[in-house]
Amino acid sequence: MVKRRTGRRATGAIVGMALWATTASPVMADEPDWILRPVVVLQGLDKVTARISTVTAPVGQTVSFGTLRISPRTCQEHPPTLAPESAAFLEIDDQPPDESPNRVFTGWMFASSPGLNALEHPVYDVWVLSCSSETTAGQSPSAGSN
């Protein structure tokens, strides 16, 4: 009989802790997990010349980096109360001169894990640095001129 009571107390304690955990911080429950930003800040490497360029790409527009045409569809980042993270959904086409475009990447890239879902291209590497509200944030004068 003692064992039965102990089991009920333990079950009650677990249920109580679960309820407390879900209602303990109502302020955090109202915060979004991701904040949409209008601009993706990318970094690109030309493997032939070893030149690194920072490229700012507004969401919904297409920017060039060498023969690549980069079209960000969304850029999101965690709020300051969560671990730092920026993620962008990108569509990247390779369009050498006098050739039709060839889709070389479609998917999410994460700033904290650039190798997780990387662009596989023989000449270029592209990765996400951050999301921004500023359209001129981090734009290098040589971006897109490779």
Q: Which residue has the tokens 């290098």?
A: 140
Spatial separation of the C-alpha atoms in residues 92 and 74, rounded to whole Å: 13
Degrees to nearest 5, angle at CA 90 with 103 and 133: 150
Identify the CA nearest to 87 among candidates 73, 100, 98, 99.
73
| Two structure tokens written together for 110 | 């994460």
Write out pLDDT tens, residues 6-22.
445 544 444 444 444 44
Identify the CA nearest to 70 among candidates 50, 47, 43, 98.
43
Structural domain boundaries of the chain?
1-30, 35-132
Secondary structure element (H or E) that encloses residue 118, with its range: none
Write out pLDDT tens, residues 128-140.
999 999 765 444 4
Write out pLDDT tens, residues 38-79.
999 999 999 999 999 999 999 999 999 999 999 999 999 999
